Every structure is written in structure tokens, then in C-alpha cells.
Amino acid sequence: MIGFWTLFKKEILRFWKVLLQTVAAPILTAFLYLLIFAHVLAAHVQVYPGVGYTAFLMPGLVMMSVLQNTFANASSSLIQSKITGNIVFVLLPPLSYLEFFMAYVLAALVRGLVIGVGVLMVGLLFVDLHLRHPLWILMFGVGAGVVFSCIGMMAGIWAEKFDHLAGVQNFFIMPLTFLSGVFYSIHSLPDFWQGMSRFNPVFYMIDGFRYGFFGVADVDPRLSLAVVVPTALVASLLTLWMLRAGYKLRH
């Protein structure tokens, strides 16, 4: 257990020491989205009855920040260690692959949730937001965070240079999150794209998360949970399998 705690602590300190870049910057980015989209769209769009666009946007932005930053934390920590070679410091000790997994995933999750809460706090200064079902909010926040921590770990292990990681970020993570209903309800889309959105697991993460705030959503939150939980399980198992096999870490 000491091994796990130490690695977890080290991973937390790693981003905590550069707080401005790893926590403050993403909160500011989300705030800018809020400012711009709310300014442009608030007067024109109402998605759910009684829910203003700015309020509607908030949970999406929080979730998007959680997803992007859990991914960023796990992936950048691993690629940096691999490229500078200091990954040996964690490969030489008798850490089990499970300890390794837990430490990286939980640290990424902590950063994601700290930023998520930060974005929410900033948002609350501008929008009146109720947390109808806090437990659902937490479940979706954690579930989605675990998925993207795992994807971040897998990408960090797989990538051999920063380019590879940027590729995953720009061609996989960004489209998945932007096209998942952060900024809109999928009911506003043409039938075809509405159907396509249902194949995007991120859609369920955001929709279920949003349900926690408003008590209404595009689909039944139980369906969303039934997508997010197994996705988190599969992502965890895949990551564990990679670690156990020593894929790209132990030749």
C-alpha cells in the first residue's frame, strides 16, 4: 500500500507544483467558452423548458473539462517520464500493475474533479444552477473521469513522442467531446446525426451528468449509466491488461 500511496502522492504533486498551467488554465478556458457562447446564444436558444442556455451549457463545460484534463494528466505524465527516461524510477520498484494503475488513474481523477469543481464554482457566479441529483452528478463525474484517465494512460503508454499524443488529443478526444452535446441538445440535430450521437459514449456521460443538474435529459439517465459504467470497466480492464503485459514499458 505504501508503494501505491507514494506513487499517487507523487502524481498529485507533479501537477500541483505547476498549478497555474494544470488547474487554473483549464478553468479559465472553460470560463471563456461560457462567456462567449452564453453571450452569443443565450437569447436565442432554450433547450429545456425553464432552463436558460447558459445554465444548460454549464454541466457540459464542467464535464468537458473533467474529460480533457483527466486525459491530459495521465497521458502527459507517462509520456514525459518515458521521453526523459525517468519512467525507470517507477519500473524498477516492486510496484504491482494494479498499484501503478490505481495511482495514475486516481491522480488524474483528482485533477479532473478539482478542475470540474473549479469550473462549476466560477459558473455559479454567473448562473443560477441547482444540483437536483448530486449523487448522479458524482457518479457520472467519476465514471467519465475514470474512462478518460484510462484512455490517457493507454495513450501515454502507446505514444512514442508528443506528436502521437497530440494526434490522439486532436483527432479523437476533441471530436468526441465537442460532438457529444456539450454545447447543444442532440434533439436539435437532424435525425442522422442524432442517431450517430448515440454511438458516442461521451454523449451519455454529458447527458447523464446534465440530468443530475436539471432532472431532465435527452435520454433516460439509467441508460446513460448503463453505458458509462461498462465503458469505465472495459477501459480499466484494457489499461490493466496493457500494464500487465508490460506493453511498450517493459520490452
Partner 1 sequence: MTCAVRIRGLEKRFPRVQALRGVDLDIEQGEFFALLGPNGAGKTTLISILAGLTRATAGTAEVMGHDVVRHYRQARRNLGVVPQELVFDPFFTVRESLEFQAGYFGLKRDDAWIDELLSHLALLDKADTNTRRLSGGMKRRVLVAQALVHRPPVIVLDEPTAGVDVELRQSLWAFIHQLNARGHTILLTTHYLEEAETLCQRVAMLKEGHIVALDSTANLLQSGAERHLELVLDGELPDFLQARLRGREAGRYLLALPDYAELEGILAGLRQAGVGVRDLTVGKPDLESVFLKVMREAAP
Binding site for partner 1 (CB under 8 A): 1-3, 5-7, 9-10, 13-14, 17-18, 81, 84-86, 88-96, 246, 250-251
Between 96 and 170, CB nearer to partner 1: 96
| Residue 249 beta carbon to partner 1: minimum distance, rounded to whole angstroms | 9
Chain centroid to Cα 48, Å, comes to 24
| Residue 250 beta carbon to partner 1: minimum distance, rounded to whole angstroms | 6
Contact 34, 54 (CB under 8 A): yes
| Residue 5 beta carbon to partner 1: minimum distance, rounded to whole angstroms | 7
Between 36 and 91, CB nearer to partner 1: 91
Between 92 and 135, CB nearer to partner 1: 92
| Residue 75 beta carbon to partner 1: minimum distance, rounded to whole angstroms | 16
Between 5 and 171, CB nearer to partner 1: 5
Cell numbers of 3, please? Answer: 508503494
DSSP state of 189: S
Cell numbers of 18, please? Answer: 505547476
Contact 239, 100 (CB under 8 A): no
**What is the greatest pairwise CA distance in the chain?**
58
Instruction: Report the alpha-carbon angle 138-182-212, nearest 5.
Output: 30
Between 32 and 83, CB nearer to partner 1: 83
Between 19 and 36, CB nearer to partner 1: 19
Cell numbers of 235, please? Answer: 477501459
Angle at which helices 53-84 and 201-214 cross, to 10°: 130
Between 14 and 198, CB nearer to partner 1: 14
What is the rounded CA–CA span in Å between residue 141 and residue 30? 16
| Residue 22 beta carbon to partner 1: minimum distance, rounded to whole angstroms | 11
What is the rounded CA–CA span in Å between residue 165 and residue 143? 23
Beta strands in 151-244 (DSSP E): none
- Contacts for 4 with CB less than 8 Å, ≥ 6 apart: 95, 99, 102, 103
| Residue 166 beta carbon to partner 1: minimum distance, rounded to whole angstroms | 21
| Residue 153 beta carbon to partner 1: minimum distance, rounded to whole angstroms | 18
What is the rounded CA–CA span in Å between residue 111 and residue 5? 16
